[in-house]
Amino acid sequence: MQIPTSWNEKGYVCEPIPEGIDLPSEIRRLAKEKNAVILAHYYTDGALQDLADFVGDSLALAQQAAKTQADIIVMCGVHFMAETCKILCPEKRVVCPDLRATCSLAESCPADRFAAFVRQHPDHKVISYVNTTAATKAWTDIVVTSTNARQIVESFPKEQPLIFGPDRNLGAYINSVTGRQMLLWDGACHVHERFSVEKLIALRQQYPDAEVLVHPECKKVIADMADVVGSTAALLKHAVESPAQTFLVVTESGILHKMRQKAPEKTFIPVPPDDSLESEACAIAGTGQTPKCCACNECHYMRLITLEKLYNSLRHEWPLVEVAEEVRAKAIRPIQRMLEISQRLGL
Ligand code: 13P
Ligand code: SF4
């Protein structure tokens, strides 16, 4: 991704935060004054989630963007989420507080390589996960998120050959539950790939009554141990509605903030990644700040978004997310198809 020169020169805090400022109330004041809506993904820091107008999974964030009346959309999430907002709302100013917040899946699927792959299989329909750049979406027939991937794949006739990219784990999971044999792009998420099988087994022995909640970007060996495999929104819903009291959570640890808010009487334990230091107290409290001292598995792209950057980006309406019109015109079709099917399915 192109990072503007001025961005490099100035760094990410374009102006120092005035001393003694109450950041959350200043952010809310600016958002109101500028008619801006703050959208946040479940993987962002809890303080950002608490400030946002709307917190959701990638499908819900796109749905919110598509219907907002705000003049400015501030995306506290990763770049492809902000790009989706800009594609849906080209007339609005879309701001992402740190443009370096990309995504390992989007990075794993550059548009030129994906286009070559698509061209090699002209009889295939192309399904891409929303975790892709706008340029990659432009090569796609329909976009999916983890909330609607299964239903959208099933909406194609069984004999229709399909390409699915970029997440090989989500693709393999959808193949296994639908009986399809989609051709898979070989991408993966650096967060979901590194959950520790051994540590999950040990936690299951320690908490035999706990339910295991797994995001479908995880490897098969982890998904096979799940009580529930689902999107962030589906895992949250299940955690609230299930009679179980304890949950082993195998997705980015930011989701625990909302789970604990929505079900304060329940216990949520983040399953650690392979390379975490052993620190059970930290894992259980979920209070550690960095992967070095903590069992939490964090997306370092999501964690680039901070309160300070949100404040500055609202103040300066910067950095703006732009999508070339030629790309936008192609990328909007598969996104709109996804939104239409999701609406029909009540998702
Ligand atoms: P959700 O669609 O479940 O929010 O997932 C987005 C994501 O980036 C998962 O890593
Ligand atoms: Fe991308 Fe993984 Fe971060 Fe989700 S958790 S935004 S898939 S890098």
For the chain, percent of residues with pLDDT exceeding 70: 90
Closest ligand to the CA of 41: 1
pLDDT tens, position by position, 188-244: 999 999 999 999 999 999 999 999 999 999 999 999 999 999 999 999 999 999 999
Phi/psi at 211 (5° precision): -90, 145
pLDDT tens, position by position, 300-336: 999 999 999 999 899 989 899 999 999 999 999 999 9
d(CA 195, CA 226): 13
End-to-end CA distance of the chain: 32
Angstrom distances, CA of residue 109 to CA of 38, 148, 188, 189, 246: 28, 21, 10, 12, 37
Closest ligand to the CA of 303: 2
Sketch out the chain's domains with CATH numbers.
Answer: 7-103+303-325 (3.40.50.10800), 105-189+331-345 (3.40.50.10800), 192-298 (3.40.50.10800)
pLDDT at 24 over 80: yes
Residue with the bigger pLDDT between 124 and 5: it is 124
231 lines ligand 1 (CB under 6 A): yes
pLDDT tens, position by position, 259-276: 999 999 999 999 999 876
> Predicted confidence band at 295 (pLDDT cuts at 50, 70, 90)?
low
232 lines ligand 1 (CB under 6 A): yes
Closest ligand to the CA of 302: 2
Measured from the CA of 230, which atom of ligand 1 is nearest? 3
Closest to 193 in 3D by CA, of 109, 250, 132, 146: 250
217 lines ligand 1 (CB under 6 A): yes
Q: What is the mean pLDDT of the chain?
A: 91
- Amino acid sitting at position 225: M
- At residue 281, the pLDDT reads 41
pLDDT at 69 over 90: yes
pLDDT tens, position by position, 134-153: 999 999 999 999 999 999 99
Instruction: Tell me the CA–centroid distance for residue 65 and ligand 2, in Å.
Output: 20
d(CA 27, CA 52): 10
* Overall average pLDDT of the 101-109 stretch: 96
- At residue 317, the pLDDT reads 92
pLDDT at 280 over 80: no
- The one-character DSSP state at 118 is H
Starting at the earlier edge strand, list the strands of the sheet with 246-250: 228-229, 211-214, 246-250, 267-270
Enclosing H/E stretch for 28: helix 23-33
pLDDT at 284 over 50: no
Q: How many helices (H) and strands (E) does the chain have?
A: 17, 12
- The one-character DSSP state at 124 is S
pLDDT at 337 over 80: yes
pLDDT at 247 over 90: yes
pLDDT at 339 over 60: yes
d(CA 105, CA 311): 28
Q: Which residues pair with 55 in a beta bridge?
A: 40
